[in-house]
Amino acid sequence: MKLSKLTLCLMASAFSITGAAARADTIKVGVIATFSGPNAIWGKQFREAIDVYVAQHGDEVAGHKVEFVYKDVGGPNADASKAAAQELLVREGVKYLAGFDFTPNAVAVAPLTKQAKVPAVIFNAATSSINKQSEFFLRTSFTLTQIAQPAAEWAAKNGSKKVVSAVSDYNPGIDAETAFSASFERNGGTVLEKIRMPLQTNDFAPFLQRIKSSGADTVFTFLPVGPATFAFTKAYNENGLRAAGISFLGGGETDETTLNALGDQAIGLVTAYHYSDVHDSPLNHSFVKKLQELHPGSRANMASIGAYDGVELIYRMIKAAGSDGAKAIEAAKGMEWESPRGPVKMDPVTRTVVQNVYLRRVEKDADGKLVNREFATVPNVPDLGFNP
């Protein structure tokens, strides 16, 4: 039987006694993410959250020292992600992979995770179908269906009758559009139009004018967190949709890292999401406080919580199975713990966390800082888009 180059390299590295990977007391975790370019906020949030977790829990688990190795892929880049995974597996000898801010970057490493039998913990990428690509994928973030369906149900019960959906034209956006539309119509609402916007655009005026003239009372939107979400949310006000009485309903569009820059025009915007940095629990207060101590000026957001809980899951797998990837995956199924976001459980079928989804409204706190204040909870929501 012909062996692939990766298999031969992995076999060679397994017999090496000179590399760091051969030391039984160290388990390396390779983190693949965006640390440069316009989307570098992802890698920054991931790394800072990992710093917080290690500061709180130490860097040793069940006799193993845990070492994180970071690889920058510069944004949505499947080829770079695959190359980074190969380097981490072969040269660094990592026993766990993690990170994955964008869907293509996760999908690209699926064959490698199966071949090497290495668990890969997804800190963000939110397309439901990702976890079908490899039985070694686990996800501690969310999926778009997980937040879009509760958002639609809430909207239908709270006065929205006619909606236009406006999403970025790629897999997560289409997931959000599909889940929201089906749920909203099932609950008696009407979706007037489904607008798909180019992933790389920051000029939303033409789309918002279409929404303004559509007769809708609500716009539901999804865009990847970063420059696009900031531009869309800003344009919603500048193009007069709020003044026209068109309500805003989104997900990450009022992300904590850009919220203050949006200014007072963001006040009152409603989103459905799985985390807010002002979530009221002792564990979250401790998480946010330690983040401020280690990285003054940083704000926790959905990327932070995905990474923080991702490391929690990795530590639990190491405790249960050491560097045995297949055993670690089996041990992870059904694990549950209290997160800074609330209770979470690793669904044994979807391998995505079951979690609360919160309806949030932007307001000012006592210090005048803009925050996403939770005002309603939809408990224990699974990945609603995963069909085995």
Tens digits of per-residue pLDDT, 164-216? 999 999 888 999 999 999 999 999 999 999 999 998 898 999 999 999 999 99
- Structure token pair of residue 12: 């060679």
CATH topology agreement for domains 5-142+281-351 and 144-273+357-381 = yes
Furthest C-alpha separation in the chain:
69
- Residue type for 140, please? T
| pLDDT confidence band for 23 (50 / 70 / 90) | very low
Checking DSSP bridges between strand 96-99 and strand 120-122, what pairing results, if any?
parallel
Secondary-structure class of domain 144-273+357-381 per CATH = alpha beta
How confident is the prediction for the chain on average, in pLDDT? 93
**Which residues, at least 6 apart from 294, have a Cβ–Cβ distance to it below 8 Å?**
48, 51, 52, 55
What token pair was written down for 9? 């390299």
Count other C-beta atoms under 10 Å from residue 20's C-beta. Answer: 12
Q: Which one, of 43, 70, 50, lies nearest residue 308 by Cα?
A: 50
Are 94 and 88 in contact by the 8 Å Cβ rule? The answer is yes
Model pLDDT, residue 227: 80
User: At 21, is the pLDDT very low, low, confident or very high (cuts 50, 70, 90)?
Assistant: very low
pLDDT of 5 reads 54
Task: Let me know how long the chain is.
Answer: 388
C-alpha to C-alpha distance for 151 and 222, rounded to whole angstroms: 12
Mark out the alpha helices in the chain (DSSP H runs). 5-15, 41-57, 78-90, 103-107, 110-116, 144-157, 171-186, 205-212, 227-238, 256-262, 282-294, 302-321, 325-332
pTM of the prediction?
0.91
The domain ranges of the chain are 5-142+281-351, 144-273+357-381
Angle between helices 144-157 and 171-186 in degrees, nearest 10:
30
Query: How confident is the model over 326-349, as a mean pLDDT?
Result: 98
CATH class assigned to 5-142+281-351: alpha beta
Identify the residue whose tokens are 């801010």. 101
pLDDT score recorded for residue 9: 53
Please give the pLDDT value at position 17.
36
pLDDT given at position 230: 85
Q: Which long-range contacts (CB under 8 A, 24 or more apart) does 14-21 make?
A: 19/93, 20/92, 20/93, 21/92, 21/93, 21/94
| Three-state DSSP state, 354 | strand
The set of residues, in sequence order, having a beta carbon less than 8 Å from that of 257 and lying 6+ positions away, is 41, 45, 225, 299, 301
Q: With bands split at pLDDT 50, 70 and 90, how would you rate the model's confidence at 15?
A: very low
Percent of the chain with pLDDT over 90: 85
Task: Write out pLDDT tens, residues 278-293.
Answer: 999 999 999 999 999 9
Residue 2 has pLDDT above 60, yes or no: no
